[in-house]
Structure 1
């Protein structure tokens, strides 16, 4: 039963990574996926490292590329990630397990080892602070990575 949970959970994470990679035609150094399941809301967002710079999904063309960053394509990317996060919630609930409130996935295409890293949080992230939104948390993570990569 636990192996089934872990296997299906990994499949959902893999799907999010694949759709994020497809969005940039596999032309990123690293992808970062944020997902939140909290306060009866499910959200997701993605950012990228390309040529040692960090970009939000709609700014990746600043990396001297010609990606399709149309609103429809952005909505499609986020829609699939949110659908996968919804399935994560349903999966954990079906197995009577605690549902993660936050998921941070990193997939490094340039690394030889540890290409995939995942961080999970099961404690409230935004529920205890009415001023804090999941977008704030995503932006904080983006800014931390950007500072680390571009310094």
Structure 2
């Protein structure tokens, strides 16, 4: 069992790590939303920077005077999402291999200063049974909930 836990943790750590790289290690908290249900894999990420919650493409909204701006090019953003989605697929394979349930949703929170990592999992369908909602809706709801 230890082997499964280790590999699972490693893949989650990789998701956080690529998000930290994207933000050049200049964030107070990292939030990663990873979703996998009914064959749909989706992910998004956002940050807490200078007491402001910002989505990945809006990092520069949190930059204070005198601070270096972030490179938020679409190319870099997609690169991060590709890596996160890759890790979700690897978690899927891992869960199959160890006969574990695959989470339909993972919300990962990493506090940079305290190095505290927190993860919330869901195993029920979150949006595919809904006629309107998509992974993006769920991500945006989480972003609103955290930032308020």
Give the match for residue 83 of structure 1.
86
The CA deviation at 1:85 is 0.6
Name the SS of the counterpart of 1:33 in structure 2: strand
Aligned residue pair count: 144
Instruction: Point out 4+ residue stretches in structure 1 off by more than 6 angstroms.
Output: none
The CA deviation at 1:78 is 0.5
The CA deviation at 1:40 is 0.8
Measure, in 1, the Cα distance between the counterparts of 2:87 and 2:24. 20
Give the match for residue 14 of structure 1.
13
- Deviations, residues 71-129 of structure 1 (Å, cap 9, x unaligned): 11001011100000111111101111111000000001133xx7100011111111221
TM-score by length of 2: 0.94
Name the SS of the counterpart of 2:130 in structure 1: coil
Give the match for residue 135 of structure 1.
136
Gaps in structure 2 of 5+ consecutive residues? none
Measure, in 2, the Cα distance between the counterparts of 1:5 and 1:46. 25
Give the match for residue 122 of structure 1.
123
The CA deviation at 1:69 is 0.5
Give the match for residue 48 of structure 2.
49
Q: Which moved more, 1:136-145 or 1:118-127?
A: 118-127
TM-score by length of 1: 0.92
Measure, in 2, the Cα distance between the counterparts of 1:31 and 1:130. 30
Give the match for residue 70 of structure 1.
73
RMSD: 1.0
Measure, in 2, the Cα distance between the counterparts of 1:71 and 1:141. 22
Name the SS of the counterpart of 2:136 in structure 1: helix
